[in-house]
Amino acid sequence: MASETTRTAPEERLVNLVVALMATEQGLTKETILSSVAGYREQVGAGASKDALEKMFERDKQTLRGLSIQVETIGDYADPDDLREARYRIPTAEYELPADIAFTPAELAVLNLAGGVWSESSMSSDARAGLRKIRALGIDVDAPIIGYSPRLSLREPSFAPLQRAIEQGRVVAFDYLKPGEDAPHRRRIHPLALVEYEARWHVYGFDPDQQDTRTFLLSRITSDIEVTRSSFDLSAREGAGERALTGLADLAERQQALVEIAPGTEAALRLSRRAAPVEQGFRVPYVDAHIFADELASYGPEVRVVEPAELRDQVQERLRRVLAAHGGAA
């Protein structure tokens, strides 16, 4: 359970935001959201700048839209194009059943029972606290909020065939592009588990050519998944997910970057969840130097990499490419 002084995980912040935006037809202003929704409001108390919080909110809106959850922006009634006091909401009509659907008494009894369980257990205490704060501002809130299930769309096309291969115990093959290489190489593995780490999906499996286990980032698979007719021992799947996550965590612990982060910025909000403060700045563990360099470069001047030199060089190279693409000199 998160409190006003502890950080809220990004996925929990998104759920709390969805609950708040679905709770009122009139919509909520950005100021109300940032001060009432868990995941934002404790950052206000910690001294985060308004600009950093607004950037976080804008990215969260894009994330929700990427999950097929539409966030509406409502302008001023007198001037709809005036967005200075814009309000935001998630229209509930899209998730309502058609009016011509009818249920038998027995079906209604089951639905009412399920709805009661959902309304009592599906909403976190932070989400309920946020709704109480919104009510205290005099904004009408619909309660209870039930019957809502987010529609998740996986962006990695390799996920579904890999999941089926794991369930069936079938060997797979695919082309994989390692960081720093110009061409992909064919890989063959016994897929044992799909795991999410640092918001990215990985497949963990046994590589018979290397006679060892390997972890592959799904976003680096460049071909369709070939599910072969060869099978493997299904018992190898037992505990594979835990082993994969432990291996990724151990790798991140061994690879730590020393970075200086400007306080009150978006970078501070996003990196502080996994960073440890030290005398010169922060130590941030990471799994993949290339992906981490992409993230750090996206923060621009908000972050400076002290070490390792390889990571610093990669970030600088990305910033040079951005500068050159916009007509600047390196």
**pLDDT tens-digit map of 261-280:** 999 888 888 888 788 999 88
pLDDT band at 146 (very low <50, low <70, confident <90, very high): very low
pLDDT band at 201 (very low <50, low <70, confident <90, very high): confident
Q: 5 lies in a domain?
A: no
Can you point out the beta strands (E) in the chain? Answer: 28-29, 72-74, 87-89, 170-176, 185-197, 200-207, 212-217, 226-231, 256-261, 276-277, 282-285, 303-307
Do both 260 and 236 map to the same domain?
no
Reported residue count of the chain is 330
Do both 130 and 96 map to the same domain?
yes
Do both 203 and 263 map to the same domain?
no
Would you state the pLDDT for residue 272? 82
Neighbouring residues of 296: CB distance < 8 A, sequence distance ≥ 6: 257, 259, 303, 305, 311, 315
Neighbouring-strand partners of residue 216: 203
Do both 113 and 17 map to the same domain?
yes
pLDDT band at 151 (very low <50, low <70, confident <90, very high): very low
**Residue 15 is part of which domain span?**
10-136
Structure pTM? 0.55
Q: 203 lies in a domain?
A: yes
Average pLDDT over residues 170-184: 91
Q: CA-CA distance, 113 to 115, in Å (whole number)?
A: 5
Neighbouring-strand partners of residue 187: 174
End-to-end CA distance of the chain: 47
